[in-house]
Every structure is written in structure tokens, then in C-alpha cells.
Amino acid sequence: MTTELPPVEEYDYRVDRRFLRDLEALVQHERAQVGKTIRLLSRDPRHPGLRCKKLHAAKQGEIWEARVDQAHRLLYQWVNGMIYLWRVGPHDVIDEAARLGQPDLSRAVAPEGPMPAGTAAVPPALAPVTVAPPGPFERFSPTLLQLLGVPEKHVDAVRALRDPEQVWDLNLPKDVLSTLLDILTRPDLHEVMFDPARLLFRATADQLAGYCEGRIKRLLLNLDPVQEQYVRLQTRGPFLLRGVAGSGKTTIGIYRARARAAARDLFTQGGRVLFLTYNRVLADTVRELFAELYGRLPDGIEVDTVDRWLLGFCRQRGHPVRVDLSGTQAELRAAIDQVRATRPHVVLRRLPAFFEHELDKVIKGRGVATREEYLAIDRVGTGTGLGEAARHAVWDVYEAYQRRLEDRGLMDFGDVRLLALHELETRPEPRYDEVVVDEAQDLVPVQLRAVRHLARGNNIFLLADAAQSIYYRGISWRDAGMDVVGRARVLKTNYRNTAEVVCAANSLIAHSPTLVKHGEYVPPKATRAHGPRPVLIACATEADHARVVRQEVVRLCRGDTGQRYRPGDIAVLAPTRAWCVQVHGELINHDIPCRVRTDNERFSVLENEVKVLTIHSAKGIEFPVVFVVGLTHNPPQPFPRVDYTAPPPEREAELDASRRLLYVGMTRAAERLYLLTTRGAPSLFLREIEPATLVSRDAP
């Protein structure tokens, strides 16, 4: 006989942190299926599609298993009318978890977002048990308490509290005592006890003086009179505003776009502004900042990346464009192998990254249409010119690659840019009154030529810094279709970084031969703000980088450095995604709220979580505290990664691109900068930074 469930909209549930880590390990479609399973479980635990069954008795209740799909299951437990989600994963993971132990309810937290409506008693057939009420801070992990400012020596005592009045007897710092008392007097204390991670997002931001608006917002949204003049400046045609790192170029662009969009009147149909960036993280950040300033993205303003806008435009024009990054990379490697088998030449021994750069930035990026044109072109900015025989071999790879893409019906973004440019030149469609282009120094000429056709009167407002170019450089703005002679200005004051950070970064970028050769280096004026010197930490091994970051994050949030920071004030930047995954795993495993930037989701810089992302993705944004990890020459992830099969001038060009990349990473730090290397194997760039500008120490 089946026991009938009482009428209920949905059962409430809690999530163990191990469940969240399991979820992170699944791919997107698997996570989506887990979400459907949880929704079904919370509404109808006896649904036949779940195939729920009891596994074995536990000290705190009974463990149940539910089917997610053919390959995955989840484990859960019933306690006090709620579903506790414990683990999720493939069959072998679930079997091992069920065999080894029980859920630790002290690790459970409420799910992100609104709670399911309705909580009911559990039917007798599910046999829940009653658990003694925990102390108010028992479910707070030691790390979370330290992030709230509790000194390490008091953590165990705080977690052991049973009577809230005992908090007065712990001799805690006044600000920490105030924080804990606020938690204890919250009307939603019962929910907070099950949801300490969310408390961190709410309570600390609301309580601590100076945190109410968040340091990141203050950093990104302030303007002074020198910057303000470029918001209102009346321009005709393209205008170039060059600025050193930290000069507020992005902020100027945001305010200018709003001012131009608001300029419409009864006689003007315009007021449409397009704000373009190079990468998705900066585009998402700009949207967030518009929302912070105006409550939403103002009417008349669009924000996008250049490539994403051009891709959408091509599809609007009726072209069935299909872009597959992994597919195009595979076809490029196959094309190299194909040519290598028939044409012996030393250039064909180069790594695929060389050909990817040559095809994307030189051939397609500059709109080279024929072999003869490629043989004659000046490869400025690449460090050296390839000989005629080498160019013939590269062009053979290009032709083989294009044939393979055509056979598979694929395009890369170089093709998309060329197609969009052709469409705009043959059928012009100036849609906007002005186009603001942030980080314009990283765009290839074809992108800039396409953008030129988007604004009425060629009104393009370019924001650029040659010292921060990490993707492409080497040709004049005029060659890219932007005649800015007499229409360019320079911002020399760094408003973002402390003088100490500027000095260290300056000593590095001064070694750039490319900037010196082209006369494009703009030395920043010293800022008035002062702070601690950047810290260079030598770790015993590469694996220790993440551990040291985790320990330092706790110290910063606890206030050990003399100033307390929120997790959201901190970013960890890395040369590669592999480093990002390593750091993210370490922080998550120790209950430090953090988010790693992926290609499949929008990335918010204003959330109160530690941000983990590649240096490339950090262009145009800034944080009070920055850690740069992975500054070692040890394999498998050396920095810089150099193709030693390349001729010496090409190697120097690659080194200089990596040097500028590190400069970008260092200048993301507004107040505190940490550089992490491996003992005995420092990146060669660390030798270029003036030692007197750093505080060096070994990791414990």
C-alpha cells in the first residue's frame, strides 16, 4: 500500500557544499538535468521517474537515492520536513559516497535564489528523525567565520556557543562583536543558521562602514574634472583618447555613451549609441555599471563585443554563419599536417599558435586577399619579416585551412569580420549616432574598418592604451580607416593604482622594445594615493600557489593587514584557465565564496565573491586587491610560454606580448598587489621589475 503524501506545493530543501562541488564538475546539460530532478523531487518525492529508494540507515536519518539520468544519481536525506541534498554524480561516485559516510548537516546551506514555496511535514513512510537544535554559529565553517572577521584563535569558541549571551564573554574585537550581535538579533536567524554563505553576502556589506557601496563601484564609477571634459566633448568623425592604465577610460566611455544617448530631442531621431569592447567580461561589466548608475541599461544604448555584434549582423543579413572554436582549431592543425607532408620548410615546425596568430591577425586581420599581397606585406608589430619561402608555406596552410572550413560549413571569427566588412561596404547601414570602442588597441584593422561604417558621420570615440595591447598591434590608426590626426588626446594620470603599484608595473613595461620603438609608451603621472608595496611570494611548488592565495584571502577579510576587505574586493588573475581551475577548487573546498569566469555564463564583478579569471579576461576592469599567480617558468604551464622554434626576433615579439600581459594584470590592482612565483623558478619578467618596488618573502 502506498502512503499518500499530504497536499503541499513544494518541499523545502538544503544543499551540502559537497553537492555544490559535485555540481561544478558536471557539464552544462548534466547540471540542467540535475536542476529538473531537484524540482521534481521537491514537488513529488514519489514520482516514478525519480526511482527513489532508501540506501541504509544513518545516525542522523536515512539516506535516499534518486535517479537523475541513465548515468547520474543524487543522494539526499529527510530531516525536519526538508530535503538535504548531499551528493550528485556518476554511479561510481555515488556508490563510494554512500559506502564511506553520512551527510554532515553542519555543511548544509540554503540554495541560491528564492526558496521553494511551502514547507510541509514529511510523510511517516519517509521516516525523518528530529535533530537537536544547533548553536547559532555551529554551522558556520571556520573559514566563513574568519571571513566575517573572527580571529582564528576565537573560531572554535564561537562555533561552540549555545547561549547567544555568551558572545559577550569571548573578548572579541568591537567590530567583530557588532557583526555577530547583528546576526544573533536578525529576525531570520533560523534561516541564517542554515545559510551562512548568504549571510556573508548580506550582513558584511550592510554593516561595515565604507562597504555599503562596495570598493569596486567606487573605483569604477568616479570621475574628476579632467575626465569629465571628455564626456561632453563635441566631436565630428573619429576621435582617439589614449590613456595610461588606470586613467578611467572605460568610465569616461560609459558616461559619454549615456550623455550622447540622452541628447535626442523633438527634432532628432538619433540618440542611439553602441558601446563595443574586445572581450565578454568587459562587456558584461559595462552593462552592470550602467545598471548601477541608472538602474538599468538606458534607452538608446547597446553594449556588446565587436565580434559578437558583427556575427549577429551577418546573421541578420541572411548568412547562416556557424562558428565552432574547437572545430576550427582542429581543422587548422590538420591543415598544417597536410602541408607539412608535401612541403618541407622549417616554418612548418612552428607551433599551431603561430599559424593561428598569422592567419587571424595578419592575413584575415588586415584583409590580405591574395598570395602576392601576402608576399609583399610588411608584417609590422610581429618582430620580423618572414622570408619568401616561409610565406609561401604559410599561405599554403591558409588555403588548405580555408578549404577544410568550407567543406565542414564552418567559419572562424576572422571570416566573420571579413564578411561583415564586405556587407557594410556594399550595403552601408549606419545605425548609430556614435560608437564608443573601449580597449581599441586590441582590435585588428578589419574590425576597425567595419566599426567605422556603423556610425553616422563616422562618429567613433576610441579609447586605447598601447601599453596594454595584448592581442594585436603594429599599424597606424589611419591604416585601419581611422584618421585621428589632430583629433587625439592623452590622459597621463593614473587614478586607479597606488603610486607603489604604478612604480612596480612601470619598471616592467619600460623594458618593452615595441613601445619604445614606436614611441607609444606614455609614462603615467604619479598618483597621490599611497599604499603598501606589491608583495612577491615565492612558493615551494606550483601546487602551493592556490593554498597561499586562500590563506592570504582569509587574512585580508579578517583584517590582519590593517584593513578589512570583502571577498568581492579580491580578484585572482592567471595566465591560463588551468591555473584558474586550480585556484577556484582550493577556495571552494575551503568555503570561500568565489566564482571562476567561464565562456558559458555571464560574469559579474560586483557580486561579493572572489573573482578568478585569466589576465586576458580582466582587460578594462579593476579590483582593490589582485593576486597574479603562475609567474614561473616551470612546465607544464610556464609563463611566458615561448615558441623556441621561432627565429630570435619572433621570440622577442612573443616575449613582449607576454610582458604587456603581465603589465595588464599588475595594473588591475587598485590598492594591494600580490605576485606569486615558484621558488627557484621565477618568471624572467620578475627580474625586470625593480627589486626596490617589491616586498619579497617565501611562502610558509
**For the domain that residue 454 is a member of, what is the CATH number?**
3.40.50.300
Rounded Cα distance between 666 and 668, Å, is 6
C-alpha 280/C-alpha 285 separation (Å) is 8
Domain final residue, candidates 444, 468, 491: 491
In this prediction, residue 152 carries a pLDDT of 87
pLDDT at position 503 is 92
pLDDT reading at 394 higher than 70: yes
The residues, ordered by sequence, that sit 6+ positions from 518 with a Cβ below 8 Å of its Cβ are: 466, 474
Residue 440 in any domain: the answer is yes
Provide the residue count of the chain.
Answer: 700
Residue among 664, 696, 665, 700 nearest 550 (CA): 700
Cα distances from 486 to residues 241, 340, 392, in angstroms, run 12, 49, 40
Q: What integer is the mean pLDDT of 544-550?
A: 97
Q: For residue 195, what is the DSSP state?
A: -
pLDDT tens digits for range 78-125: 876 778 888 888 877 777 666 655 555 444 444 544 333 333 333 333
pTM of the prediction?
0.65
Q: Residue 61: which pLDDT band, with cuts at 50, 70 and 90? A: low
Q: pLDDT class for 523, splitting at 50, 70, 90?
A: low
DSSP state of 148: T
Closest CA to 570 of 111, 109, 221, 147: 147
Does 425 lie in the same domain as 389?
Answer: no
Residue 79: strand pairing partners: 82, 129
Cell readout for 327 is 572545430
Tell me what the pLDDT averaged over the chain comes to. 81
Task: Identify the band that residue 507 occupies on the pLDDT scale cut at 50, 70 and 90.
Answer: very high
User: Of residues 483 and 404, which shows the higher confidence score?
Assistant: 404
* Range scoring the smallest mean pLDDT among 20-29, 445-454, 498-507, 572-581: 20-29
Q: What is the per-residue pLDDT for 104?
A: 52
Q: Report yes or no on 226 lying in a domain.
A: no
Between residues 617 and 24, which one has the greater pLDDT? Answer: 617
Does a structural domain hold residue 112? Answer: no
pLDDT over 80 (residue 202): no
What's the mean pLDDT in 173-197?
65
The per-residue pLDDT for 421 is 97
Q: Are residues 345 and 299 in the same domain?
A: no
pLDDT of 543 strictly over 70:
yes
Q: Smallest Cα–Cα separation from 199: which of 591, 586, 528?
A: 591
Q: pLDDT: is 629 or 132 the higher one?
A: 629
Three-state secondary-structure class, residue 90: strand
Q: What is the pLDDT, as a whole number, of residue 210?
A: 32
d(CA 592, CA 533): 26
Judgement on whether residues 300 and 333 belong to the same structural domain of the protein: no
Neighbours of 543 (CB within 10 A): 11
Average pLDDT of the segment spanning 215-238? 76
Instruction: Judge contact between 524 and 244, C-beta under 8 A.
Output: yes
- Residue 270 pLDDT > 60, yes or no? no
Contact 637, 575 (CB under 8 A): yes
Q: Are residues 442 and 367 in the same domain?
A: no
CB contact at 8 A, 380 and 366: no
Decide if pLDDT at 505 tops 80: yes
User: In this structure, are residues 416 and 307 in contact, taking their beta carbons and an 8 Å threshold?
Assistant: yes
Distance CA(361)–CA(355), nearest Å, equals: 10
pLDDT score of 204 more than 80? no
Judge whether residue 383 has pLDDT over 80: no
pLDDT at 57 over 60: no
Q: How far apart are CA 133 and CA 378, in angstroms?
A: 75
- Percentage of the chain lying above the pLDDT 90 cut: 37
Question: Per-residue confidence at 52, pLDDT binned at 50, 70, 90?
Answer: confident
Are the CB atoms for 534 and 690 separated by under 8 Å? Answer: no
Residue 289 class from Cβ within 10 Å (0-12 exposed, 13-18 middle, 19+ buried)? buried
Q: Return the amino acid letter for 467.
A: A
**pLDDT-above-70 percentage for the chain:** 80
At 355 the pLDDT is 94
Report the pLDDT value the prediction gives residue 492, as an integer from 0 to 100: 85
Residues 288 and 426 in one domain: yes
**Does some domain include residue 684?**
yes
The pLDDT, as a whole number, for residue 11 is 72
Q: Is residue 133 a part of any domain in this protein?
A: no
| Pair (540, 652) in one structural domain | yes
pLDDT recorded at residue 380: 54
Instruction: Decide if pLDDT at 190 tops 60.
Output: no
Q: Does residue 343 carry a pLDDT above 70?
A: yes
Confirm if 461 and 239 have CB atoms less than 8 A apart.
yes
| pLDDT tens, residue by residue, 151-171 | 889 999 998 887 777 888 888
The residue with greater pLDDT, 473 or 160, is: 160
Whether residue 432 sits in one domain with residue 389? no
- Give the confidence band of 602 by pLDDT, cuts at 50, 70, 90: low
Regarding predicted confidence, which is higher, 235 or 215? 235
Same domain as 524, residue 637 = yes
Are residues 557 and 514 part of one domain?
A: yes
CA 264, CA 257: separation in Å to the nearest integer? 12
- As a whole number, mean pLDDT of residues 505-526 equals 72
Is 273 among the domain residues? yes
- Burial (CB count <10 Å: 0-12, 13-18, 19+), residue 269: exposed
Peptide bond into 124 cis (omega under 30): no
| Residue 162 lies inside a defined structural domain of this protein | no
Which candidate, 613, 609, 575, 550, places its Cα nearest to that of 20?
609
Domain boundary among 410, 440, 461: 410
Least confident of 75-79, 126-130, 362-366: 126-130
Q: What's the confidence (pLDDT) of residue 273?
A: 95
pLDDT at 240: 92
Give how many domains the chain has, as a whole number. Answer: 3
Mean pLDDT confidence for 193-216: 38
Q: Can you read off the three cell numbers belonging to residue 212?
A: 555599503
DSSP labels, 364-406: TTTT--SHHHHHH---TTSSSPPPHHHHHHHHHHHHHHHHHHH
Examine the domain organization and report whether 253 and 344 are in the same domain.
no
Domain shared by 672 and 529, yes or no: yes
List the grid coordinates of 301. Answer: 544604448
Chosen domain end from 361, 382, 410: 410
DSSP 360: I
pLDDT of residue 311: 97
The H helix count followed by the E strand count for the chain is 24, 19
Query: Is pLDDT at 341 greater than 50 in this prediction?
Result: yes
- Contact assessment for residue 80 and residue 128, using Cβ atoms and an 8 Å cutoff: yes
Longest dimension (CA), the chain: 87
User: Average pLDDT, stretch 674-699?
Assistant: 96
Determine, yes or no, domain membership for 612. yes
Task: State the residue range of the domain holding 450.
Answer: 233-319+416-491
Nearest-angstrom CA–CA distance, 643 and 645: 5
Residue scoring higher pLDDT (245 or 345): 345
- Pair (306, 336) in one structural domain: no
